Structure 1
Amino acid sequence: MDGTKGSRRQASAWARLLAPLMILALAGCARPEGLLVPVAIDTPPAGKVDMLVATTRAPSDAEGVLFTGERGDGLAFTNIVVSIPPNREVGSIQWPSRVPADPAREFAVTRVDPIPNNKVASWYRQQPRAKHRVLIFVHGFNTRFDASVFRFAQFIHDTSADYMPVLFTWPSRGRITDYLYDRESANFSRSDLAYVLSSAVKSPQVDEVVVLAHSMGAWLAMESLRQLALREGRVPAKITNVVLASPDLDIDVFERQVQELGPKRPHLTLFVSRNDQALGVSRLLSGQVTRVGAVDLTNPAYSARLEQATGIVVLDLTALQGGDALNHSKFATQPDMVRLLGDRLMAGQSISDDVTPGSTAVQAVGGAVGTVVAAPFQLPIQVFAAGRN
């Protein structure tokens, strides 16, 4: 009898976790194919994002698809320009309802230019001279190629980040049923992301590199940085900040990765949320090991483990309202969070600059919890500074 009750409770838990993911999957399936067909624009758009895209995906012969969710034979580069429509909410993407897209109302691609690998350095040279910083974004699980392009374009536009935008997109099939395939695809792409990071660092036009990685992309980013550290003796000094948003990362693995980055590592900022439903499913699929992005800072066991590492700031976004329904992409979809990130990025600051643990304290967690204030609004974000110097 007890076994039957336990099985029922487990089944009920799975049902509660999978229901919102299934809704999200159905919403994704409703989007048309071929969204990246370039369109001509007669009038200037409200905004545009000119990005360098590096991918390990297999190329597609289908018009407007460009790359599939399968694994390619090597690393490919493309220059893509995305037009942003007017009259939209910060954090939102106006998906094209049909092909070609209507740039007056929807996100639209206006240029697609493949770049030979030996010509990538010229892309950096052609960027405006005022830009000397690079933001490299690594997306997460269940992300099609077009979704990675539009999400990064949305984030760059909404933050007004004065960075050279570089998207690293790895072979995700964009289906929630392919979690294990996606995880192995991230593994498949480690050396290629390390190459992209090294290329940015070696460019004379680049003074600073910031890495922003979401969900499963956080594991990939940490592995690539670890690879650079082991090969070169340290993470290159130009890589100053690494931001991990909702990291789908085994907490035990993360601790080992941080150790192997060495003492001269970038500043690490983590965005976590106890009510992240996507990471709840990930935990079930990963042997019930806590994911870093869903860590409970009110649990002394976890706060004590994080305190062992220096230079890590954890921002708990659990209380932050709005954004996506799964509480998994607040860094890009929650308007106040997007503005805060934009303010920090524009100023060339670490996300955690001016965050003093314990100041304006709202709750005592390891003696290091406070709020982040970004005028003219205040965000209900708890801050845990692990071993901060």
Structure 2
Amino acid sequence: MESRAGFSFRLIAVAAVLAVLAGCAGRPEGVLIPSSAQAAGASKVDVLVATTRRPTETPGVLFSGERGREPHVTEIAVSIPPDSAREIGQVQWPSKLPANPAKEFATASVTPLTVDGARSWLRGHLPKSRRVLVFVHGFNNRYEDAVYRFAQIVHDSKADVAPVLFTWPSRGSIFAYNYDKESTNYSRDALEEMLHRLAKEPEVGEVTIMAHSMGSWLTVEALRQMAIRDGRVAPKIQNVILASPDLDVDVFGQQLAEIGENRPHFTLFVSRDDRALSLSRRISGNIDRLGQVDPTVEPYRSEFEKAGIVVLDLTALKTGDSLNHGKFAESPEVVKLIGNRLIEGQAVTDSDVGLGDRLGAVALGAAQTVGGAASVAVSTPIAIFDPATRRTYDEQVERLGNAVGNTVTTAVGQ
């Protein structure tokens, strides 16, 4: 008779396959064929795309899931339909080609670039903030998946950045987990080199890296290599956001130690109901995945506090993602938070976050200390573990306790 663990594993795997198939159903091939069609109210996002994928001759596909011999850089402009015609946090895939820009994402232009051309693009697209956002996608992503998803994130977050996508050779199949993992290793040097180039560009002020799922492994490995080669991560790389990181927690601890003290500020998005990471955990020897931990329990609570890592727990947040693996991109609240705060490295517990009543910015450390605050943390969709805020809160509580004690002592003495 099949064990309960074996049955659970099969159930998770089947659910994952069905979700992936449902997500890809009805998509036409070749969505990256440029279209001249325009729509009133549509907006455009220009993305610089660097890849280690192998080029393909298939029109509108551009790059396959196989590994290329050398990196390629392309400028892709994506047309996004008016906000009135779409749901924030979602990619409206074309039902047929050419796409209808009034209701669907569409490719406006595709321009292959040389290294010098990429530098010119960067200089021409840097905002006044001089900030660059690098996005590294996760497992099971085709080239066009990564391009459209990143364009959606940039648009919906209203991030004041020059958007740069790094896409590595993923076969876009739920059954290619090991191939994809090795492809991230294959791409470490290329990502490190790209980050070096961005950091050395005089016009660039700072770089934020946002990575999803398996892309988190690639990102942290590239930063680890940079720290080993150069003695530290380039100072311009100031913020690293890891969303649903598919990372062995033990390995992540070693990577952080090797990156050293002079490292960027790390922010994690975690969700304990992430079904994709449940499957990854089983495949990977039942070791906790970083994106699925509970930041309020030990040893994670102390380790995150010691490392100065801010953790946003999205477990209570509900989106349309059946695997609960892409909440960071599909939740309107989270994408706004990314644009308003995290990319700029600002604290997310300030009273002026300004994301409406659905976002609860609560320091988990404080919630664990004061019974009255615990219910607030439980009832809000997003709970935030911020070591700096916790220390500040604890200091305030201690001062308040001392003041109350002094008052009581004085009253008794009288």
Fold conserved (TM > 0.5)?
Answer: yes
TM-score scaled to structure 2, two decimals? 0.85
Correspondence for 1:74: 70
Which residue does the alignment assign to 2:354? Answer: none
Q: 1:139-177, CA deviations, whole angstroms, 9 ceiling, x for partnerless residues?
A: 000001110000000000001111000000000001000
- Which structure dedicates a bigger proportion of its chain to helix? 2
1:24 aligns with 2:19: yes
Matched, 1:319 2:316: yes
Distance in 2 (alpha carbons) for counterparts of 1:381 and 1:43: 36
Distance 1:337 1:306 in 2: 21
In 2, distance between residues paired with 1:54 and 1:370?
45
CA deviation map 1:284-325 (0-9, x unaligned): 11011100000123432332343442x211111111122412
The CA RMSD measured in Å over matched residues stands at 2.3
Partner of 2:404: none
Report what 1:59 is aligned to: 55
For 2:269 and 2:184, how far apart are their aligned partners in 1?
20
For the Cα contact (< 8 Å) 1:370–1:382, is it kept in 2? no
Structure 1 match to 2:292: 294
The correspondence of residues 64-143 of structure 1 with structure 2, limited to 5 A, is 64-86=60-82, 87-127=85-125, 130-143=128-141
d(CA) in 1 for partners of 2:376, 2:224: 31
Cα deviation 1:215-259 (Å, max 9, x = unaligned)? 000010000011111111111111110000000000011001111
- Kept in 1, the 8 Å contact 2:79–2:107? The answer is yes
Moved more, 180-189 or 292-301: 292-301
The superposition leaves residues 319-355 of structure 1 with CA deviations (integer Å, 9 ceiling, x where unpaired) of 1122412111111001211222222157x34364637
- Conserved? CA contact 1:91–1:323, under 8 Å: no
- Structure 2 residue matching 1:135: 3-state secondary structure: strand
User: Structure 1 pair 261/302, CA: closer, same or farther in 2 (3 Å)?
Assistant: same
State the TM-score, normalized to the length of structure 1: 0.90
Contact 1:124 1:203 in 2 (8 A): no
Does the alignment pair 1:12 with 2:10? no
The equivalent residue for 2:190 is: 192
Letter in 2 for 1:189: S
* In structure 1, C-alpha distance between the alignment counterparts of 2:310 and 2:69, rounded to whole Å: 37
> Is 1:215–1:245's contact at 8 Å kept on the other side of the alignment?
yes
Residue of structure 2 aligned with 1:221, choices 213, 219, 222:
219
8 Å contact kept, 1:134–1:206: yes
Is the CA contact 1:324–1:334 (under 8 Å) kept in the aligned structure 2? Answer: no
Q: Distance in 2 between matches of 1:42 and 1:327?
A: 34
Q: How does 1:320-359 map to 2 (within 5 A)?
A: 320-344=317-341, 348-350=344-346, 352=348, 354=350, 357=363
**Deviation of 1:112 (Å):** 0.3
- Could you say if the C-alpha distance between residues 363 and 23 of structure 1 is closer, same or farther in structure 2, counting changes exceeding 3 Å? farther
Return 5+ residue gaps in structure 2 as ranges. 351-360, 392-414
* Structure 1 Cα separation of the partners of residues 64 and 369 of structure 2: 47
Query: Aligned with 1:52: secondary structure?
Result: strand
| 1:153 corresponds to which of 141, 147, 151 | 151
The 2-side partners of 1:240 and 1:89 are apart by 31
Higher mean alpha-carbon deviation, 119-128 vs 195-204, is at: 119-128
Are the equivalent residues in 1 in contact too, given 2:304–2:310 (CA < 8 A)? no
Match of 2:175, SS state, is helix
Query: Hey, what's the Cα distance between the residues in 1 that align with 2:388 and 2:285?
Result: 29
Pair 1:169 & 2:167 matched = yes
**Cα pair distance change 1:45/1:78, threshold 3 Å:** farther
When residues 94 and 129 of structure 1 are mapped into structure 2, their CA distance, relative to the original with a 3 A threshold, is: closer
Secondary structure in 2 matching 1:324: coil
Match of 1:49 among 38, 45, 51: 45
User: Please, which moves more after superposition, 119-128 or 93-102?
Assistant: 119-128
Quick check: 2:349–2:363 contact (8 Å CA) kept in 1? Answer: no
Distance 1:65 1:167 in 2: 16
CA contact (8 A) 2:362 2:385 kept: no
Contact 2:364 2:383 in 1 (8 A): no
Letter in 2 for 1:317: L
The 3 A distance-change label for structure 1 pair 72 and 28 is farther
